Every structure is written in structure tokens, then in C-alpha cells.
Structure 1
Amino acid sequence: MFFIASKVLFFLISPLSWIITLLIFAVFSRKDKLKKYALWASCLLLLIFTNPMLSNYAMVQWEYAATPKDQLPYVETAVVLGGMLETGKEPTDQYHFNGSADRINEALLLYKEGIVQRLILSGGSGSLMDQTLREAHFLGTYSQTLTGAYSQEIILEANSRNTYENAIETARILDSLDLKEQKVLLITSASHMARALRCFKKQGILVIPFAVDFRGQQGDWNPFWILPSYASLEDWNILIKEWVGLLTYRLTGYI
């Protein structure tokens, strides 16, 4: 039930949903004053949420700091959180990654460089309708193809559907392998790390964060930051999802 409710909630909190709702209200409202307010509000939200300077500043402030590889302590196991693969898309003999592909690619580089010896790929089906396509299964094949790793070095966790379940299922695997007392490297997007860390610590897992997939850009201001951008809408969608998710997890006792 929580999984379905979260999908609905994240749709409702999307800035684009607010803008479209206000525009529809402006079109169909019979009161001229309300019509005008709704139209102005939708235009104002559109200007705010498509402004790259504002979205970039918010993203830079929120994202978890990067950790240089040469400062990572030795750990045997890294946990890679799913949410980077679009399963079920055509053609089916290809891998369809979204913007979070750095999660798996950076993990495979850490494995190839000998920084970690074992990967736990955590991610089931994120679909409301089809629970047969499990992301971890596809990522396992992808990882073994690229690295030539043995099956015991790539462990698949294909039951979880959200970050809380990622932590629950990973804790079970670590317990079964007698690894719960060892530190593990947690690999996920920089914008998602705050929520993920709290979930894993709640389950008693000793985690070292390794943030990837940075969207915020550090650097000097440039004129293009005042031009509207759809990418800014995507950034705000990610940020609001994380903020609301963090609050929801706190209220439900998940963190």
C-alpha cells in the first residue's frame, strides 16, 4: 500500500503537475478574478521552476559531498541502489539507462580497480503493474558481461521496491553472509544519499557513503543560467521528491 501511495504522492508533488493544474483551473474557472490569479500563479511557478540558477543552487546545497577514491578505506562489499534502468522497453536486447547510470558504472570501476571485492545490486520492480521485470537481474547480467566477475562476487537483491526496502533486504543478505559487522560502501546518487544513509543506518548497517550522479554544477555564474530550462524542472522534481520522501520516512519510522 505504501508503495502505491508513494507513486501517487510523487506525481502530485511534481512542480509540472502544479503548473498544469493551475492552467486548467484558469481555463475552466467561471470567475474572472480566480482565473487571473490562477494564470499568474502558473506563470510565476513556471518562471521559478525553469530557472537554472535557482535549481542549480538548490541542488548544489542538497547533494551529498563527493568522496575521492584515494580517500576510501578498504571494504569488501559495495551496495548499489537501483533506480537507473528502464526495464521492459524495446528493443529488449539493449539496456535502457536513465540519468542515474553512474551508480552502476562507478561501482563497476571500483570493482575493476580492486577497491571493492563484492557488489550487492539492490533493486526489484518499480512498476505498479508488472512485477516480473526485476532491475537487479538485468544489472547482474550487465555487470558480469562487462567485468567477467564470478557469480559469487555479484549478489542480486531483486525484492525491494523503494529505498526503505533496499535497506531491509540488504541487511538480510549481509546477515546471511555473516557480514553485518563489516563496513560496506553505499553507492547511490548524490541527491538521494541523505535518505539512503538514514535507511541503512536504521537497519544497523555500517555504511560508508560514495555519492555519484551529481547534477549540481559548481562554478562561476554564466548568462545561460537566466534562460528557462526543462532540466531545471527535472532537478526540482528530484529535490522535492527527496525532501518529501525524507519527511514521509521520518513520520513512518523508516528512518
Structure 2
Amino acid sequence: MDDVFFIAKKILSLLVTPVPLCVFLMVIGLYFQRNRSNLGKGLLVFAVLLLGSLSQPQVARWLSQPLEARYDINHQVNQSGCLIMVLGSAHTDNQSASFQQQLDDAASARLIEAVRQYKMGPGCQFVVSGYDGGYLLLPHAYVMAKAAEELGIRSSDIVALEKPKDTIEEAKALLQRVGKRKIRLVTSATHMPRAVTVFESFGFEVEPAPADFRARDGAWWRLSADNLLTSQRAIHEYVGLAWLKLKPSLLTEPSS
């Protein structure tokens, strides 16, 4: 049942994110355009304008800035015995590359920031998380753990949570592993507001350490896939925050 809910949630998320939505509108527009329908033309024009707008730097910044501005870069020294929790992202199965090179941009940025946080206090635990996506050879947590070792983290300090599929499952898994305690939470800056909401709901005392800041200035006419990705990530987070408000029952502690 949990797997069915997870898949349904992912499908719903895809339908409200820009690229899949624009492609869907274009397909519908082309279908109606066969009969030279004004509706078909309207859908095609709207989809193209939406895609172009979200690829524009000022729009991408306007969407992502409110999320990224919630928490500053964390320069606070960690106390002895601290716990660094690095949320998962994605990786590839390129076996010819190092583990760090297999990480996507978000995962790499999160890991680098987490290593910096680890070095700011003695005796910290370094927790990584993420499953295999249902098709990869290795769990994301395993690749993150090995990449952390490549960056100098002691293997004895690393804890890998290889089952969680999303932020809520990551919080539940960490709660079952270490109980309620103070954590230094590392994730992308756009994702941090939702991540803090989730982890605090499960009783953690969260010290945010955002990474992967994407809100940037640029010439208005320079449309790019990078800007589109920034817009898409921001919209995904707004949808996620709204979903948590609509379904507060999701933020309930697992039964022991």
C-alpha cells in the first residue's frame, strides 16, 4: 500500500511540474489542432510561453528566492558528538567513474556542504540516505557514503539509510535509528523549508545547513535549461509544502 501511495504521489507531482505539464499541454494542443481548433492553438501558445517564461532567469529567481532566503549558510561550530544528516538526491550507474562523479549536481553540492559541516566539530556522525530508485544497481545512500569516504570522511562515522524514498521516510528512518535529537540538516536551499518542516514534526531539533543555491541573476533574454530546472525545483517545493498542509497526517511518528 505504501508503494502504491508513493507511485501515485510521484505521478501527481509530475503532472503539476512545468516540463511534463507543458509537454502534456502541447500534445493536447496538437490533437485539437488537427481540426484547426482555436483551443489547440491556444494550448500550444500557452505551453510555449509558459516554458519560455520558466526558462528566463528573473522568473527562476523570483520563484526560488523566497525558499532559499529562509535559511542562511550555516557557519556555526558543531558540538562534540553532533549528527550531520544529508538528504538524498540522485546518482548514475557509471561504474567507470568515482563515486563522487556518479552523483548529480544536487547530491554533489549537498555532500560537499555536509563534509564542510562535519569538519566544523569533533566526533560527528555522518548520515546519508536514499534508496536505489527501483532500477539502479546501488542504493543512493551507499554511493553517497562511498563518495563521502573519497572526500575524507571516516567510514566508522558514516551511517547509511538505504530504504527511504522521500523526505518523510528519511525523517522516519532517522528517528528509528537515533531517536529525537539535535541534527545539522543538509539539503538544497530550495528544499530546506519543507525538509525542516518534516524533521521538526518528528521531534528533531534542526540546525539547517543549506546548500545548492540556485537563485541567480542573468540577462533577461538568456533562456536556459538551467533556469527551467531552477523553476521546476521551486514549483516542486511549493507543491510539496502545500501537500503537507493539506495532509498533516503524513507527519505522524511511526509506531514502535
- Normalising by the residue count of structure 1, what TM-score does the alignment of the two structures yield? 0.85
Q: 2:224 aligns with which of 210, 221, 229?
A: 229
Contact 1:110 1:116 in 2 (8 A): no
Q: 1:17 aligns with which of 1, 20, 26?
A: 20
- Report what 1:163 is aligned to: 167
Distance 1:132 1:172 in 2: 26
- 2:42 alignment partner AA: Y
- Report what 1:192 is aligned to: 191
Distance 1:44 1:13 in 2: 16
Moved over 6 A (4+): none
Matched, 1:34 2:39: yes
Distance 1:68 1:171 in 2: 23
- Report what 1:4 is aligned to: 7
Q: 1:239 aligns with which of 194, 216, 234?
A: 234
Cα distance change of structure 1 residues 150 and 51 upon mapping to structure 2, 3 Å threshold? closer
Cα distance change of structure 1 residues 241 and 202 upon mapping to structure 2, 3 Å threshold? same
Matched, 1:66 2:72: yes
Cα distance change of structure 1 residues 113 and 205 upon mapping to structure 2, 3 Å threshold? closer
Aligned residues: 241
Q: 1:118 aligns with which of 116, 119, 125?
A: 125
Structure 1: 5+ residue stretches without partners: none
Cα deviation, 1:200-224, whole Å, max 9, x if unaligned, reads 111111111111110012xxx65x2
Deviation at residue 172 of structure 1 after TM alignment:
1.0
Q: Helix, strand or coil: the match of 2:190?
A: coil
Structure 2: 5+ residue stretches without partners: 252-256
Distance 2:174 2:9 in 1: 21
Contact 1:26 1:38 in 2 (8 A): yes
Question: Which deviates the most, 186-195 or 110-119?
Answer: 110-119
Q: 2:158 aligns with which of 154, 157, 178?
A: 154
Deviation at residue 115 of structure 1 after TM alignment:
6.0
Using the aligned pairs only, state the percent identity.
27
- 2:71 alignment partner AA: A
Contact 1:122 1:170 in 2 (8 A): no
Contact 1:122 1:166 in 2 (8 A): yes
- 2:130 alignment partner AA: G
Cα distance change of structure 1 residues 93 and 59 upon mapping to structure 2, 3 Å threshold? closer
Distance 2:149 2:36 in 1: 62
Correspondences of 1:81-96 after superposition (within 5 Å): 81-83=87-89, 85-91=90-96, 94=99, 95-96=101-102
Question: Which deviates the most, 50-59 or 141-150?
Answer: 141-150
- Normalising by the residue count of structure 2, what TM-score does the alignment of the two structures yield? 0.84
Deviation at residue 174 of structure 1 after TM alignment:
0.9
Distance 2:29 2:150 in 1: 53
